[in-house]
Amino acid sequence: MGRVMVVDDEADVRKVARMSLEKAGYHVIEAEDGEQAIQQIKEGDNPLMLDAIVTDINMPKVNGLEAIQFFQSQWPRVPLIVMTGYPNLENATELMKHGLVDYLTKPVDREKLVAAVEKAMSQRELGSFTN
Amino acid sequence: MTVLNTQELSNELILNAAGEGIFGLDLEGRHTFVNPAAARMLGFELKELLGLPSHPLWHHTKHNGEHYSPEECPIYGAYKDGRIHHGDDEVFWRKDGTSFPTEYTSTPIFDDDERLMGAVVTFRDISARREAEETISDLRRQNEYVLQSAGEGIFGLDLEGCHTFVNPAAAKMLNYEIHELLGQPSHTLWHHTKDNGTPFPQEECPIYGAYKDGLVHVGEDELFWRKDGSSFSAQYCSTPMRNAQGHLIGAVVTFQDISERKRLAAELLEAAKMAEVTRVLGNVGHDIKNMLMPVLTGTSLLDDELKDIFPLLAQADSEVARKSEATCTELTQMIEHNARRIHGQVREIADAVKGVTSKPYFVSCQISKIVEGVVKSLHVLAKEKGVAFYRKDLDTLPLIQADEKRVFTALYNLVSNAIPEVPHGGSITISGRTNTELQMLELVVTDTGKGMPPEVRERLFTTNAISTKAGGTGLGTKIVKDVLDVHQGSIRVESEVGVGTSFNISLPLNRPGQHDP
């Protein structure tokens, strides 16, 4: 089963995302922000073992496209799923062009979150994220 | 030297020094003497004048070019009728053929026996004065023109506070004819009452103050009253007027109707407040959506946990366990239901914020698809309330250029607002047609609801709309109106209490500013 990194500055959001994904059989790593995400990966884990990242894009330290670019520069092969409380069609289209797998609007339904991660996994398996 | 000689000498000196032209004429009108100033003004040498008749030399033609006969000449008249003749609207001609306006006096002279023996004429070149007079009259005309055409109201007051002049703009703003104002006291006529409705004592009037204390008085916002009893907010400046001696003789007042400016300022303030409120609401909405995620997902997870754990209980089949499971399910459903309601309202607020902030995004839209989306989103709610949806003539509608999301939002709001209004067993119908003449697509959302009383109908489409929905924000119809404004469309409402309500929406087929290719 895959490993998913959930990045959100709200602990409860991370918790329910983790529980939902764990229930669907994924292994989940949590991080408050990008820096902590790197930290988590560095601490003994193999970065290649990361299969998907689910991240908020409105966080105190990084925002929007910046967040996407940050993760893509860190882990270019890992598919990204965005969760946001500020749904914005133009923004979403723009982000999709940057290789985003999915764009979820908060509050994200459990089923939708799991479905988005599954979709990301299948794309990864198909090799569409190998550069 | 004899007395006579002394007298003659002093006369000569006076003649030579005088700035006025002075000459003498005999009974034939010939120059008997000419002073240097006269010769200089006429452009002749003294010797060219002495002994020659004056009229044919430099008084032969009138200023309009007509011949001037000596018989008419008032200068000659003096020695003919023995009276003093005066002229100030004639010209004298110089030797070089040019002329100048002049003012002259021709005085008869008599000998010791009272017999006429000629005339003495004094004259002045009055071109400078004429020029000054013309300048003054030009200025007067110009002032008059300024007064007539000024957009500001301008009037003069005497020391009694009565109008001495009034320009057309002032009369128009006050709704009087100019003649109705002239001579009338201004304060009691149109400055009598303050904006709080109390009388404005004349003694306190700053407009009158100007001619009392000699200072400029400015009013930033006071009421001026029209003839018909209505009033407007005015800004004015009352400036004291003094005569040449420096004595106060009245005041000149300029004023403007500032009601429109005030209205715009109030509107801008309102818009700024609205923007701030929506910004705050947007932030709050974001936070709430974030917080709802743990609630909703957590509830769903909890529900799963409970479903997993109950069958494993030792006494799963006991009455207590079954009852507890039912209560747990009820409670988790309640939490979820209410969290979704919160979400619905936050979304409504977010839509209102978007109506104020985000840029429209026009694409080709199929209305039937948008309506389908709306019906799908709301069918659970409608079913709960026992309200049926009908769709009519939507599939044949042409594609329109519109902001799909916004149109969805508008229809969603209209329909979701209607649902609670419709009694069980009622319906909501969405129908459409094309108005080819106006190039508009017309949609009608009709319900069989309670209908709206006029006071509710009037406040629709504003932020002051009254929400009858329990817990509704009341922003719904304002959102709809904003959407239609973006599309340059329109909305009309027909409603009858007890019968139902119809919202008629018109949307342009093409994007505003674009036409059929």
The CATH number that applies at residue B175 is 3.30.450.20
Within 8 A of B405 by CB-CB distance, chain A residues are 89
Query: What is d(CA B293, CA B300) in angstroms, rounded to the nearest whole number?
Result: 11
Q: Do A108 and B292 touch (CB under 8 A)?
A: no
Please tell me whether residues B398 and B508 are part of one structural domain: yes
pTM of full prediction above 0.90: no
One-letter amino acid for residue B464 of the chain: N
What CATH number corresponds to the domain at position B434? 3.30.565.10
Cα pseudo-dihedral B325, B327, B328, B334, rounded to 10: 150
* Chain B stretch 21-80, residues whose beta carbon is closer than 8 A to a beta carbon of chain A: none
Nearest to B357 by CA among B223, B479, B441: B479
In a domain, B435, yes or no: yes
Please tell me whether residues B395 and B486 are part of one structural domain: yes
In a domain, B141, yes or no: no
Cα pseudo-dihedral B416, B419, B420, B423, rounded to 10: 180
Domain end position, chosen among B212, B231, B257: B257
Q: Do B294 and A58 touch (CB under 8 A)?
A: no
Domain end position, chosen among B207, B229, B257: B257
Please tell me whether residues B122 and B51 are part of one structural domain: yes
Please tell me whether residues B387 and B495 are part of one structural domain: yes
Residue B512 in contact with residue B506, Cβ under 8 Å? no
Please tell me whether residues B271 and B252 are part of one structural domain: no
Within 8 A of A20 by CB-CB distance, chain B residues are 297, 300-301
- Judge whether A39 is closer than 8 Å to chain B, CB to CB: no
Cα pseudo-dihedral B397, B403, B404, B406, rounded to 10: -120
* Chain B stretch 293-312, residues whose beta carbon is closer than 8 A to a beta carbon of chain A: 293-298, 300-301, 304
Please tell me whether residues B291 and B340 are part of one structural domain: yes
Please tell me whether residues B280 and B354 are part of one structural domain: yes
Among B287, B293, B306, the strongest candidate for a mutation testing the A interface, having the largest count of A CBs within 10 A, is B293
- Judge whether A23 is closer than 8 Å to chain B, CB to CB: yes
Assign A128 to helix, strand or coil: coil
Domains identified in chain A and CATH numbers: 3-126 (3.40.50.2300)
Please tell me whether residues B344 and B390 are part of one structural domain: no
Q: Name the domain count of chain B.
A: 4
In a domain, B133, yes or no: no
Strands A100-105 and B153-157: unpaired
pLDDT in tens, chain B (517 residues): 455 577 777 777 777 878 899 999 999 999 999 999 999 999 999 999 999 999 999 999 998 889 999 999 999 999 999 999 999 989 999 999 999 999 999 999 998 888 999 999 999 999 998 899 999 999 989 888 888 888 899 999 999 999 999 999 999 999 999 999 999 999 999 999 998 999 999 999 999 999 999 999 999 999 999 999 999 999 999 999 999 899 999 999 999 999 988 888 888 888 788 778 777 877 888 888 888 999 999 999 999 999 999 999 888 889 988 899 999 999 999 998 888 888 887 877 777 666 666 677 888 989 999 999 888 878 878 888 899 999 999 999 999 999 888 888 889 888 888 888 899 999 999 999 999 888 899 999 999 988 887 777 777 776 555 555 444 555 667 778 888 888 899 988 888 888 888 999 999 988 766 544 4
Please tell me whether residues B16 and B109 are part of one structural domain: yes
Domain end position, chosen among B358, B391, B406: B358
Q: Do A23 and B343 touch (CB under 8 A)?
A: no
Please tell me whether residues B513 and B371 are part of one structural domain: yes
Query: In degrees, to the nearest 5, what angle opens at C-alpha A91 toward C-alphas A85 and A92?
Result: 75
Please tell me whether residues B386 and B513 are part of one structural domain: yes
Q: Do A85 and B339 touch (CB under 8 A)?
A: no
In a domain, B145, yes or no: no
Closest-CA distance of chain B to residue A131, Å:
33
What contacts B400, CB < 8 A, 6 or more positions away? B364, B365, B367, B441, B507, B508, B509, B510
Residue range(s) defining the domain that contains residue B351: 260-358
